[in-house]
Structure 1
């Protein structure tokens, strides 16, 4: 047996030696592969670019399929640029000046390129010179990804629409693997993230249909496009993020984030209620039941919500076509009784991935239980921020509040450090005090406080956002005492919080300031600068109004306001809003129109005027210099303007004398709005009211006057 095997092996050996059997291998031609063409560009590169290109582009063509690498030598470094692992005749590579052996950029200097190739017959090319290149040391780097933008936009993704709506384009300075990430600006949430794709030709494109990774249409708003990319020109490049400020923003408008209401009504039909009221005092009315029909196989969660559209109890989850029923006993999540008021059923419909909420038109009411009312003297707050910290039932975020919206305060809840407010009938909410301003400040009884030490003021009563510090002795007007904090009003009108340990309540402080008389000053001019009367300055300083002021003389001014230099040549005057003022009354006083006041001050007609608010009003450039013998009556006749307008615009006291050299602003023409009456000799408020079939009260209100106010012949008054 052994001899037979030996014989077989010898026989095979003889066949091989005789050439009858040839081993399977590539033909050995003993000729190394040859280059047909070569190019290496550019001559100067820098890692990540900047002042030079960021990568070498090497193109090689060989006479037969080859594979191999390029050795990079110079400046004490030796590393490799690898070609394809496959045998091929064309090699195209783009490489950054990167030392793959030590995982760091090549240092500045000159490098030589040596080519090493092998063909399929294992013939080799060793160290063929491809020339040299220079690595520059640039201080700046060239971004891998740049010029990110989406077009067209804005986009409006619609229900059941899935085709691409926009193309996101960007440029790549070097070969890269990239992915698209889309985040909503409002909350920073990532709504979409693509997979990685390769960008070789310098331009990347990605089409998007306005849906998230689950296939749901994204909410309306502005989104930032970020490209996450990995540089393929060197081995261990990290994945980095790239965006382009305002240029990589994509807007989504009028999209169907939620299933359209018409479609929801096709899916679900609600049936009328037999009973819609729960009365705590009637045992026969302690539950409300209802039914609805689903026309498609979807999942539905039914909720009870209050008048603020806040969910307070889940009624159940339902699925499948057919009729379904629910019942509610007037309780909330924790089985406690709800506040008296209106309630509604809402149906959250999920047809995957689209979702939407259908709000019932049937009003449910709860009566005879917990009644929440607002005090008659309740203070009102106005939201002062775009995203207020406002919670509703069981600390659910209440998203219905908008900047500028007003709510009455029920009480301050110290445990929450929040104002409890009434959102709507039967619905209360809790809002952070720093996110609202008290509106009816003038109706709050005046209380004053003084800092007993250096104090820190905060935006809210929680040591949260610091406003600033105030020295001992600083006085504040106290608006509220919320827990252990005083809510105070600063001179600027801002409202802040100071801990009660650093404050004591005091009598109203006397507000004064000092003024040093300069050349050309007269009492009237100084009074105008500080918005006070001449008589007030005279009494405060015990002056004789007929005496001249002396340069360098120090006067006590009965106000803490900063002086406003009086410039009678200005095109616009300024008026400080007083109690009871309306735009109509102010326009009448200042001989202008409501429209002019609105445009000049950029007013929102939905906002109330604030006492102390300064309004600009159009004035004439005409200024009259008081001369000997001048009276208000003579000046009003000379310029054909109502006497009362002249007094109002210049804030004059008719009982005081004019002064030589005093400058008076002359208003433009006669009043243009409303009905007016020119006072005649012997007229009284009562006579005028009777003659024009109105009441004295209405006449006084229309003119912002009091019954003891003297009227003058030639004065024009407003008729209600």
Structure 2
């Protein structure tokens, strides 16, 4: 029986109900039905991999389509909640029941619709489509071509400077860009976008998830996709590895030019101290000047640039001059050896940070000496670069081809020599990265020279009738770093010196 005791009648595949208290309901009619492709294949290459279905009715409806053929049938939901007059869905030939692509064959499309007055259309024939197979399925994403392929992200320019990554999308999908490092770790993920098939472009500014510029190296482009063609079962993203980007000359650390705008000066207030615990001159005071408020940490660096001590952990300071103290302790809780030590600040701006070291040094005295073996033997770096571990705590240091280091011992442990890297700093280097020096530089007669204010390598070389490079070699110096007052250097013994004084200590005085 129908509503209000009236009979319910069926008319040619759809049913119309009516009531004695209102006019007869309007019949559901399909006013148009279209397929963007009548022949499809799962992940199609020669033919489309999906079809867009558009169905229009005379009254708002909701419901589904049934795809029937080749001994199977599967549903395509049009709208399960909202009533619409126009239904539009993308669909791939997928059997949602068996979780597999539809077999090759011809399929009938039937409509099952309900309107707001509960009138129904059951099994209404709408047309047919053909499913074929593909011998070489097309990937979801192809045509990826980053521009430029080598990218140099710069500090302060990440909002305006980025690498463009064009790609072609072959089926409707939700797409998300990801960037992975050489270890496969995901360091960046872009926003998710629901896209139609065709050409698209995403961008990356060279920063990681925190917003910091990444280090130089090779990075993998990965696209995560979830197909949005209706009834496709994927809910976990598929990943498409789509090439690489090379990052070169990136500002991983805040550039020194910016750091000098923040920290204008740093120095020790004494040239030396003796942290031997006798209560006299056991501590040294340092100071630094900020042009603007800044968050920073303060380290004490040894002659190799390694962190010998942390004296101020991450803290925010106002603009102006500030002081700190150091008692000669190292990061391991012991006391540092004799040598020269520098103020090294780690400045933090947002997710970025950078180190700046100032040339003013303090001399640690009356502690223990770090001396190479005698007679001295040296090794020379033969690799283009050699990664070293230096004291304290095995920190990183890079040596370059041609660098020479005095041996602390001829013993080889775990395939490495222990060498004197810089004044008061030992480290280890792989035997395969070096060769023994057969004629060490110490075979030439030398004199000791103490650096005074105003000295440069060129001036010292002129005084002793030699070259700057000879002094660099004799002392294993980094020519790009400052000399400091009180630094002891070996210089070639001058031919004009008296024979009875082939090797003396000479200190330059006023005048």
Mark yes or no: TM-score above 0.5.
Answer: yes
Among 124, 129, 132, the alignment partner of 1:133 is 129
- Taking the aligned partners of 1:360 and 1:354, their CA distance within structure 2 comes to 20
Among 73, 80, 104, the alignment partner of 1:78 is 73
Matches within 5 A, 1:43-442: 43-45=39-41, 47-50=42-45, 52-85=47-80, 86-152=82-148, 154-159=151-156, 162-163=159-160, 165-185=162-182, 188-233=184-229, 234-245=232-243, 249-279=244-274, 284-317=280-313, 318-321=315-318, 322-375=320-373, 376=375, 378-382=377-381, 384=383, 388=387, 390-402=388-400, 407-411=405-409, 418-433=416-431, 435-440=432-437
Q: Say which structure is richer in helix.
A: 1
- Taking the aligned partners of 2:207 and 2:24, their CA distance within structure 1 comes to 60
- Taking the aligned partners of 1:267 and 1:250, their CA distance within structure 2 comes to 33
TM-superposed CA distance for 1:346, in Å, is 0.6
- Taking the aligned partners of 1:134 and 1:328, their CA distance within structure 2 comes to 81
- Taking the aligned partners of 1:111 and 1:161, their CA distance within structure 2 comes to 53
Matches within 5 A, 1:3-14: none
- Taking the aligned partners of 2:79 and 2:22, their CA distance within structure 1 comes to 20
Residue by residue over 1:383-435, the C-alpha shift from the partner in whole angstroms, topping out at 9 and shown as x without a partner, is: 648674x32224444142356755444236676553212222222212344x5
The change in CA–CA distance for 1:55 and 1:328 in structure 2 (over 3 A counts) is same
- Taking the aligned partners of 2:296 and 2:439, their CA distance within structure 1 comes to 51
The change in CA–CA distance for 1:111 and 1:399 in structure 2 (over 3 A counts) is farther
Residue by residue over 1:486-523, the C-alpha shift from the partner in whole angstroms, topping out at 9 and shown as x without a partner, is: xxxxxxxxxxxxxxxxxxxxxxxxxxxxxxxxxxxxxx
Contact 2:299 2:307 (C-alpha < 8 Å) held by counterparts: yes
TM-superposed CA distance for 1:349, in Å, is 1.2
Matches within 5 A, 1:447-596: none
TM-superposed CA distance for 1:232, in Å, is 1.9
Residue by residue over 1:456-506, the C-alpha shift from the partner in whole angstroms, topping out at 9 and shown as x without a partner, is: xxxxxxxxxxxxxxxxxxxxxxxxxxxxxxxxxxxxxxxxxxxxxxxxxxx
TM-superposed CA distance for 1:30, in Å, is 4.0
Contact 1:36 1:63 (C-alpha < 8 Å) held by counterparts: no
Matches within 5 A, 1:625-704: none
- Taking the aligned partners of 2:201 and 2:24, their CA distance within structure 1 comes to 47
Tell me what 1:685 maps to.
Answer: none
Contact 1:159 1:256 (C-alpha < 8 Å) held by counterparts: no
Residue by residue over 1:641-690, the C-alpha shift from the partner in whole angstroms, topping out at 9 and shown as x without a partner, is: xxxxxxxxxxxxxxxxxxxxxxxxxxxxxxxxxxxxxxxxxxxxxxxxxx
Contact 1:97 1:135 (C-alpha < 8 Å) held by counterparts: yes
SS in 2 for 1:264: helix
The change in CA–CA distance for 1:44 and 1:316 in structure 2 (over 3 A counts) is closer
The change in CA–CA distance for 1:398 and 1:115 in structure 2 (over 3 A counts) is same
- Taking the aligned partners of 1:40 and 1:26, their CA distance within structure 2 comes to 41
The change in CA–CA distance for 1:404 and 1:225 in structure 2 (over 3 A counts) is farther
Using structure 1 for the length normalisation, give the TM-score. Answer: 0.52
Residue by residue over 1:543-588, the C-alpha shift from the partner in whole angstroms, topping out at 9 and shown as x without a partner, is: xxxxxxxxxxxxxxxxxxxxxxxxxxxxxxxxxxxxxxxxxxxxxx
The change in CA–CA distance for 1:387 and 1:38 in structure 2 (over 3 A counts) is farther
Q: Say which structure is richer in strand.
A: 2
The change in CA–CA distance for 1:328 and 1:427 in structure 2 (over 3 A counts) is same
- Taking the aligned partners of 1:130 and 1:387, their CA distance within structure 2 comes to 72
Q: Count the aligned residue pairs.
A: 414
The change in CA–CA distance for 1:275 and 1:60 in structure 2 (over 3 A counts) is same
Contact 2:386 2:429 (C-alpha < 8 Å) held by counterparts: no
Q: Name stretches of at least 5 consecutive residues in structure 2 with no aligned partner.
A: 1-18, 441-511
SS in 1 for 2:359: coil
The change in CA–CA distance for 1:333 and 1:208 in structure 2 (over 3 A counts) is same
Contact 1:43 1:132 (C-alpha < 8 Å) held by counterparts: no
Q: Which has the larger radius of gyration?
A: 1
SS in 1 for 2:258: helix
The change in CA–CA distance for 1:36 and 1:271 in structure 2 (over 3 A counts) is closer
SS in 1 for 2:260: helix
TM-superposed CA distance for 1:92, in Å, is 2.7
Contact 2:224 2:240 (C-alpha < 8 Å) held by counterparts: yes
- Taking the aligned partners of 1:80 and 1:213, their CA distance within structure 2 comes to 41
Q: Name stretches of at least 5 consecutive residues in structure 1 with no aligned partner.
A: 1-22, 444-720
- Taking the aligned partners of 1:75 and 1:29, their CA distance within structure 2 comes to 37
